[in-house]
Amino acid sequence: MKLHARQQGEGTHLISVHGLFGSQENLGAINRQLAEEFTVHGIDVRNHGRSPHSDEMNYALMAGDIIEYMNAQGIEKAHLLGHSMGGKIVMKVALDYPDRIEKLAVMDIAPVKYKVRRHDDVFAGLHAVKLDQLEKRVDADKAISQYVEELAIRSFLLKNLYRNDQGGYSWRMNLQAIHEHYLEILDGQSADGAFAGHTLFLKGGNSDYILPEHREEVLRHFPKASLREIADTGHWLHAEKPDLIARTLKRFFLS
């Protein structure tokens, strides 16, 4: 699959991968700072952003998409950075294609299967938006607000809404495929192997996505992993403290 990407900067290649319902724009603030030292490739993964849609969606396929992108760009090896679902994608790339990876950085996700369905309200809100009847963006926000109270989350989701060529509204993301494959998105790393390269996990101090009980599984797959907790941040740590996150990532990738 030919993925859409935004490329900026010069230097060693660094591939940056967003999370669920997002696009490369969500990591834009830190990508711009990282581009001061690296050639940064902000990726839209399949069924997200401006990348193609597909009825198939799992981590093996999405990891393969990244390698296909690297091959098309003539990139032999690269640093990888991923947030949330994007973190699971880059972990899968590192485990399946370790020779193609320099260093790996993962933001607020562990290589485990998550049993809690955190996004059912989001799906309900998105499905409540009747695109064929929608006349104004504010009406989409009202529909989602019945299920999602937080304005910041609704604003994030509505970045997917755009005017199509017919003058109506469409989702950039493939909502149906994402919903149908949600359990696969919650899944952990199925590979038995390990990535021997240096790996950094960044944890939001107020987030419960990375927990002490995940340590054994992290080290089984990533024996050179280190963890840094970013105080006073949640799951969206890169949006809450972009300058600190960018400095931390620069030090890690440059060391």
Query: Could you give the percent of the chain with pLDDT greater than 70?
Result: 100
Query: Could you give the percent of the chain with pLDDT greater than 90?
Result: 98
Instruction: Burial-class residue 88 by CB neighbours within 10 Å (0-12, 13-18, 19+).
Output: buried
Q: How many CB atoms lie within 10 A of CB 192?
A: 8
Over the range 220-245, which residues count as b (16 or more CB within 10 Å of their CB) and which as e?
ebbeebeeeebeebebbbbbbbbebb
**DSSP letter for each residue of the chain:** ----EEEE--SSEEEEE--TT--GGGGHHHHHHHTTTSEEEEEPPTTSTTSPP-S---HHHHHHHHHHHHHHHT-S-EEEEEETHHHHHHHHHHHH-GGGEEEEEEES--SS---S---HHHHHHHHH--GGG---HHHHHHHHHTT---HHHHHHHHTTEEE-TTSSEEESS-HHHHHHTHHHHH----------S-EEEEEETT--SS-GGGHHHHHHH-TTEEEEEETT--TTHHHHSHHHHHHHHHHHHH-
Identify the CA nearest to 86 among candidates 127, 34, 40, 48: 48
> What average pLDDT does range 208-228 have in this prediction?
96
pLDDT at site 191: 67
Give the model confidence (pLDDT) of 51-93 as tens digits: 999 999 999 999 999 999 999 999 999 999 999 999 999 999 9
pLDDT at site 142: 97
pLDDT at site 235: 96
> How confident is the prediction for the chain on average, in pLDDT?
96
pLDDT at site 193: 85
pLDDT at site 192: 77
pTM given for the model: 0.96
For 115-129, 190-204, 236-250, which range has the lowest pLDDT when averaged over its residues? 190-204
Active site residues: 84, 235
Domain coordinates in residue numbering, the chain: 5-112+188-254, 120-180
Asked if residue 83 lies in contact with residue 17, where contact means CB atoms within 8 angstroms, the answer is: yes
- Considering the segment(s) 5-112+188-254 as one domain, its CATH architecture is 3-Layer(aba) Sandwich (3.40)
Does residue 169 register a pLDDT over 80? yes
Give the model confidence (pLDDT) of 31-42 as tens digits: 999 999 999 999
